[in-house]
Amino acid sequence: MKRSVPFEIFRYAAILAAMAVTLVPILWMVSMAFKPIGEWSATGADLTWWPKQPTLANFEFVFGHSTNDLIVALDHTAVKPILSSLLSAVFGTAIAMSAGTAAAYGLSRFGSGQNLPLALIQLRLFPPMAVMIPVMIMWAFLNLNDTWWGLALIYGIVTLPFAFWLMKTFFDDMPREIEEAALVEGCSRLRVFTRITLPMMRAPLASAALFVFILNWSDYLIALLLTTREWVTIPVYMASLSSSMTGQLYGAKAALGLIAAVPPVIMGIAIQRHLVRGLTFGALKQ
Amino acid sequence: MSTAGATPAPRDEGAKLGFRLTLPAQILVLFISAFPLLMQLYISVTDWSPLSGVGWWNAWEMWNSFANYTDLAADTRFWSALQRTAIVMLVCVPAEFLLGLALAMLFADDFLGKRVFYSILLMPMMVVPAVAGYMFFMLFQSGGPVNDILARIVGAPVTIAWLSDPTLALIAVMIADIWQWTPLMFLILLAGLVGVPEDQMKAATLLGANAWQRFTTIVLPKMKTIIIIALAIRVIENFKIFDTLYIMTGGGPGVATETISVYIYKVTTQDLIWGYVAAIALAILIVLSIVAVYAMKRMAKAREVPA
């Protein structure tokens, strides 16, 4: 439909306003990450929207090579939390994707596991906080507390609903002629799944895996409850970077926040096409 | 099945493979639901805490005959946390919905720069919630940028202590939630809006319907299911609100921003009365399970609608 000129002006004005609101919090953190300590909490007329003397000192500080004019040195650097976030999110994604993809195929093609769709949505519905007591007891019993593999296991279970539902809708949409032809050729059903279906589904699998990875990477609450020191993740580590002695380490926290925020934003833009499907459990396919 | 003969029918092979493929997921679901649920039920009728010196399996020694549940009914901090969670939900979800819908309407047809604007507007929902919480923690400092912007508007120094005032702190955490999740509403509603048939809109225009009439008589009915799904998702997720809020205020000042998740977290980690926590959690789980069954039926219905 042809729109009038006043409407176009209104549209751009409204969108630019929305863009400003969207970007100000992000830009403030990016700017803070490159501010020297003197500009961290400058107020009033001294408040700087962009660092006057941009510096990498905050990044050097969290990685441990400098104390950034602060009296404190960190008792451990950001290296291990980053490793912990990576390992737990990657292996959690691997667990969710393998169990979820296999189950989705089993349900989509052979009608097995009819209870799974509802059970998994219920799993997603519950606030993690309401099931964490037994999980904390079990994890302590299994010696999984404060380990990245313990986190990976719970992440794999928590994001299983998304992996399952995404893959189920992808399998449901996939034409079956090729699979049927391979069956007639004498392939076993398992072989059809592993040698024909899965390679054909490479792109959807990658999108679903990225989607699940973002969710795992974004966790804060579960890591807060299940890790204490050795394997804390980036958000937990970031939140701990303040003390009564030194106050808020604004710049250092912003630097860590930036490190945590960049991967999911890039991945999210890469899989934009599938976001709606993933977020609505496949109820809506864009 | 040995009675099936030497060569099993293909259907049989499929059923077997299907069972094996769904087995890992079934085990994981069982591992995280059945046993923990029983454990939670068991602990919830005791005074057990990790500091009580007995293993959780011996919690029966501390049996307190459902006192946790009667305590819960009289726990004013619990009920006010629940009330606060409801207030946050009743403000945030409609605000996110209306803003998301308005944005979606602006993006319904093509214009210059649409894809770039679209990608940027989606960014907040991809930011790690804990990091978003930290962003807004910085923004709402009394010497921070929000007050700086306000000062430029009114032309005088503004030093509002956002996060130390009970009401303003609640408003601040709601603003953070709206900032982060309006893009999700926008994304889903836009997907639904694109599905509204163009020719019906044109016909209505030719018949003299104005924009508002087209919206209420064609767009809204077509989007009904999608709107319900979008609202359901946000209601569910908003009920769990923790990360952003906890980083911004820690539930404070006092208990001014203490939502249900923050309350349970504090009882779990500070008061350590896990028997009581188990009772709260179970009560919440039962209510939510009923909601889940209803939501599931809705979603199943929605899937029949070609999108």
The 3-class SS string of A105-170 reads HHHHHHCCCCCHHHHHHHHHHCCHHHCHHHHHHHHHHCCCCCCHHHHHHHHHHHCHHHHHHHHHHH
Range of the domain at B90: 75-272
Residue ranges with strand state E in B22-83 = none
Q: Residue A222 is part of a domain; what is its CATH number?
A: 1.10.3720.10
pLDDT band of A260, cuts 50, 70, 90: very high
Give the gap in angstroms from C-alpha B250 to the nearest C-alpha of chain A: 11
Query: Per-residue pLDDT averaged across A262-269, rounded?
Result: 91
Please give the residue that has the higher pLDDT: either B307 or A281: A281
Cα atoms found within 13 Å of the Cα of residue B54, Cβ hemisphere only: 13
Instruction: Give the model's pLDDT for residue A221.
Output: 93
Report yes or no on A22 lying in a domain.
Answer: yes
Give the gap in angstroms from C-alpha B82 to the nearest C-alpha of chain A: 13
- Model confidence at A84: pLDDT above 70: yes
pLDDT band of B306, cuts 50, 70, 90: very low
In whole angstroms, what is the distance from residue A145 CA to residue A154 CA? 11
Burial class (CB in 10 A: 0-12, 13-18, 19+), A13: exposed
Query: Per-residue pLDDT averaged across B90-100, rounded?
Result: 96
Q: How far is CA B211 from CA A3, A125, B34, in A?
A: 12, 37, 53
Report yes or no on B24 lying in a domain.
Answer: no
Q: Give just the sign of the alpha carbon dihedral A92, A126, B75, A239.
A: positive
Q: Which of B40, B121, B134 sits opposite A18 (nearest CB)?
A: B121
Query: Per-residue pLDDT averaged across B215-243, rounded?
Result: 88
**Element spanning A248, H or E:** strand A247-248
Q: Which of B40, B131, B157 sits opposite A235 (nearest CB)?
A: B131
- Model confidence at B239: pLDDT above 50: yes
Task: For chain B, give the mean pLDDT.
Answer: 86
Q: How far is CA B49 from CA A139, B16, B76, B240, B256, in A?
A: 16, 45, 22, 24, 27
Q: Which of A107, A123, A218 sits opposite B129 (nearest CB)?
A: A218
Q: Residue B195 is part of a domain; what is its CATH number?
A: 1.10.3720.10
A56 and A108 inside one domain: no
Helix axes A5-33, B114-126, angle to 10 degrees: 40
**Element spanning B108, H or E:** none
- Model confidence at A133: pLDDT above 80: yes
Query: Per-residue pLDDT averaged across B271-289, rounded?
Result: 87
Task: Looking at mean pLDDT, say which of A15-24, A50-59, B36-45 comes out highest.
Answer: A15-24
Instruction: Give the model's pLDDT for residue B211.
Output: 80
Residue numbers of B between 57 and 96 with CB closer than 8 Å to A:
none
Residue B110 · residue A252 · CB < 8 Å = no
Instruction: Give the model's pLDDT for residue B47.
Output: 84
Instruction: Give the model's pLDDT for residue B1.
Output: 38
A33 and A147 inside one domain: no
Count of CB atoms situated within 10 Å of the CB of A201:
17
Render the burial of B104-120: b for 16+ CB within 10 Å, e for the rest: bbbbeeeeeeeeebbeb
Please name which of A263, A233, A254, A268 lies closest in space to residue A26, comparing C-alpha atoms: A254
Q: B32 and A100 in contact by Cβ < 8 A?
A: no
Give this prediction's pTM: 0.90
Residues of chain A neighbouring B187 (CB-CB closer than 8 A): 275-276, 279
Instruction: Give the model's pLDDT for residue A27.
Output: 94
Residues of chain A neighbouring B10 (CB-CB closer than 8 A): 183, 189
Report yes or no on A73 lying in a domain.
Answer: no
Q: A113 and B127 in contact by Cβ < 8 A?
A: no
In whole angstroms, what is the distance from residue A29 CA to residue A21 CA? 14
Query: Per-residue pLDDT averaged across A53-71, rounded?
Result: 78
Instruction: Give the model's pLDDT for residue B208.
Output: 82
Mutate to test the interface with B, among A3, A31, A124, A133 (most CBs of B within 10 A): A133
Report yes or no on A102 lying in a domain.
Answer: yes
Range of the domain at A176: 78-284
A231 and A174 inside one domain: yes
In whole angstroms, what is the distance from residue B5 CA to residue B7 CA? 6
Instruction: Give the model's pLDDT for residue B299.
Output: 67
Report yes or no on B62 lying in a domain.
Answer: no
Residue numbers of B between 165 and 204 with CB closer than 8 Å to A:
179, 183-184, 187-188, 191-192, 194, 198, 201-202
A122 and A217 inside one domain: yes
Please give the residue that has the higher pLDDT: either B193 or A89: A89
Amino acid at position A80, single letter: K
In whole angstroms, what is the distance from residue A33 CA to residue A21 CA? 20
Task: For chain A, give the mean pLDDT.
Answer: 87
Residues of chain B neighbouring A98 (CB-CB closer than 8 A): 24
Residues of chain A neighbouring B138 (CB-CB closer than 8 A): 28-29, 32, 250, 254
3-state secondary structure of A243: strand
pLDDT band of B7, cuts 50, 70, 90: very low
- Which residues lie closer than 8 Å to B247 by C-beta, 6 or more apart? A220, A239, B130, B133, B134, B137
Q: Minimum mean pLDDT among A67-76, B96-105, B172-181, B207-216: which range?
A: A67-76
In whole angstroms, what is the distance from residue B4 CA to residue A239 CA? 61
ipTM of the modeled complex: 0.91
Q: Which of B26, B39, B121 sits opposite A137 (nearest CB)?
A: B39
Query: Per-residue pLDDT averaged across B268-291, rounded?
Result: 86
CB pairs under 8 A between A and B: 301
Domains contained in chain B, number: 1
Instruction: Give the model's pLDDT for residue B11.
Output: 60
Last residue of a domain, one of A39, A63, A87: A63
